[in-house]
Amino acid sequence: MRLSSSFVPTLRETPAEAQIASHRLMLRAGLVRQTASGIYAWLPMGFRVLQNIAAIVRAEQDAAGAQELLMPTLQTADLWRESGRYDAYGPEMLRIKDRHERDLLYGPTNEEMITDIARGALRSYRELPQILYHIQWKFRDEVRPRFGVMRGREFLRKDAYSFDRDYAGAVLSYRKMMLAYMRTFRRMGLQAIPMVADTGPIGGDLSHEFIILAPTGESQVFYDAAFEEIDYSSSSFSTGSEADLNRFFDLMTTHYAATDEKHDAGAWARLDPARRREGRGIEVGHIFYFGQKYSKAMGFSVAGPDGAVIVPEMGSYGIGVSRLVGAIIEASHDDAGIVWPDSVAPFRVAILNLRVGDAATGTITEALYEKLGGQALLDDRDERAGAKFADADLMGVPWQMIVGPKVAAAGRVELKRRATGERHEVSLEDALSRVA
């Protein structure tokens, strides 16, 4: 992408309405714009990151055997009356009437809808288990939307729903999702810790939230250093092996981890001080087992063996895709701007032509741009070098190839790693092979 002809409206000034770093940086780097309270438009750079995050979530869901579908944002109130949640949900639910005076709502979540879809299609226990997911916009009419996309009213979430024959099966689905989540967050460069949580309006009796560490997080968290040392990759745990999933769950639940609300000072005191880790945390995911809550209320059953009737056991599993954009920035930024992890960065390399109009810098930056294809953002604007340095740091692309007249005359470039600030003068070939 050529910056000279791109829609990347960066801001020099810090927007007054933004209280936390990620919100300020998302506005300043031109990732999003607020269109109404708690509702955001994703501009080209922000949208690229959002899609990269969604792609990682999707890949790990698929690898765990979940199947993607897409349910609509609008739902009928009748569906929610079946479960009893239409009246129970309260003012967080955005309620709408269509032209025939029928009650609709903008979905805050999809337990009812997926149960309705499943009951219309599944007939036999042989068709279970199933895990279905979608990545779709949700709406919660939060009283106080704040912190930009971290607590919006409209937000993008992955939600998966599992249907199993029995409790043992539901527990396995739950553990499978837990493993998929740890891999998902690890791939985004995040240290996530699963913590026992309350189930709230979703219901059920088993729930974990996934907290990532960031200095500006909303809650204080305490955990055992063991979480940092676990190898979550498929070489140590397979989502297809029951024994692996159980061993994994035991690892996740025997080591100490708690938010301040559930902190147990006694258990903490017994932990070796060298293993104690403390920090601030942001919730980026939440998983629930709620058994037959929805299947029972909505009359969903399948034929079991020998004439038996089976009411499927269910769970639901959420990841805040749009919240993650803010959360990753909270976990990874400095005074100059965003520091994107390679896996979610909008571009891999920013090429800075420090003197537009100079033959040598022009030839070299164009050659690099052509070689890097869609991975590069070329700053070919007619701007001062200082402004280009500042914008490149602000936008946080992992590598910068800096091409001023002096290095260009020698046929070389300066390669800078955004995260460390390290800069080296290298040949074009070296620069290309290092970022590959």
* Binding region for ligand 5CA (CB under 6 A): 109, 140, 142, 151-152, 155, 157, 159, 202, 283-286, 288, 316-318, 320, 322-323
Q: How far is the CB of 284 from ligand 5CA (least distance, A)?
A: 5
Q: Closest approach of Cβ 282 to ligand 5CA, in Å?
A: 8
Q: Closest approach of Cβ 38 to ligand 5CA, in Å?
A: 7
Question: Under a CB-based contact definition with an 8 Å cutoff, are residues 82 and 112 in contact?
Answer: yes
List the beta strands (DSSP E) in 380-428.
Answer: 399-403, 412-417, 423-427
Is 323 or 388 the residue whose CB approaches ligand 5CA more closely?
323
Cβ pair 298, 188 in contact under 8 A: no
C-alpha distances (whole Å) from 374 to each of 1, 51, 347, 369, 377 are 7, 15, 8, 9, 8
For residues 129 and 148, which CB has a smaller minimum distance to ligand 5CA in the complex? 148
The single-letter code of the amino acid at 43 is: L
91 or 405: CB nearest ligand 5CA? 91
Across the strands, what pairs with 259?
221
Give the shortest CB-317-to-ligand 5CA separation in angstroms. 6
In contact, 227 and 193? CB cutoff 8 Å: yes
Smallest distance, Å, CB 348 to ligand 5CA? Answer: 27
Amino acid at 40: Y
Provide the minimum distance between the beta carbon of 333 and ligand 5CA in the complex, in angstroms, as a whole number.
Answer: 19
| CB nearer ligand 5CA, residue 159 or residue 164 | 159
Q: Give min distance, CB of 421 to ligand 5CA, in A.
A: 31
Burial class (CB in 10 A: 0-12, 13-18, 19+), 384: exposed
* 75 versus 353: smaller Cβ distance to ligand 5CA: 75
Smallest distance from ligand 5CA to CB 316, Å: 4
- Between helix 321-331 and helix 21-28 the angle, nearest 10°, is 100
Q: How do beta strands 337-338 and 333-334 pair?
A: antiparallel
Instruction: Please state, in angstroms and as integers, the Cα–Cα distance from residue 170 to each residue in 175, 177, 220, following that order.
Output: 9, 11, 31
Closer to ligand 5CA by Cβ: residue 148 or 346: 148
Q: Of 185 and 222, which has the nearer Cβ to ligand 5CA?
A: 185
E strands, 145-191, where?
154-164
Task: Please list, in sequence order, all residues whose beta carbon lies within 8 angstroms of the beta carbon of residue 75, skipping any fewer than 6 positions away.
Answer: 104, 105, 106, 107, 110, 112, 113
Residue 78: CB atoms within 10 A of its CB come to: 13
Using alpha carbons, list the distances in angstroms from residue 409 to 14, 345, 404, 412.
Answer: 38, 31, 9, 7
Q: Which residue is nearest to ligand 5CA (CB)?
A: 320
Q: Which C-beta is closer to ligand 5CA: that of 195 or that of 364? A: 195
